[in-house]
Amino acid sequence: MHELSIAGSIVEIVSDYAQEHGALQVTAVTLRLGQLSCVHQEALEFSFDLITKDTLLEGAVLKFIDVPVAVFCPSCQQQVELPGIQKFACPVCGTATADVRQGRELEIETIEITEGGPSSQVSASAARETS
């Protein structure tokens, strides 16, 4: 269950960020999760809940943005989104391709924190991959 170590990395990154910004609490973390990331969402949520106990993230909600797989088609000369992950071929012309351009992501997209005042959403524009 590698999701436990991934959850630990997420908590470490978010905790560091929250402490640097004087957060009282982290209320939510949004992740970009690619279909090819090999991360089981429910296992990650379970691990996140375990690891966040007695931290600034305790009670925080883990949200997900699903990232579909996209490949570059050498025939069409464009990036195309695949309808599924069973066949790596351009859905337009049928050309097989292994040039994956999107879908492996595991990135922190946003961190919502409570500062001294009302809750605010902070964009993690310098998000680091956790895998």
Residue 87, judged by CB atoms within 10 A of its CB (0-12, 13-18, 19+), counts as: exposed
**What does the pLDDT read at residue 81?**
97
**Domains of the chain, earliest start first:** 1-67+103-131 (3.30.2320.50), 69-102 (no CATH)
| Percentage of the residues of the chain whose pLDDT score is greater than 90 | 85
Residues 37-72: tens digit of each pLDDT? 999 999 999 999 999 999 999 999 999 999 999 999
pTM of the predicted model as reported, rounded to 2 decimal places: 0.82
**What does the pLDDT read at residue 106?**
97
Q: Which of 102, 111, 103, 96 is nearest to 26 (CA)?
A: 111
**What does the pLDDT read at residue 115?**
81
3-20 helix and 41-51 helix, angle to the nearest 10 degrees: 50
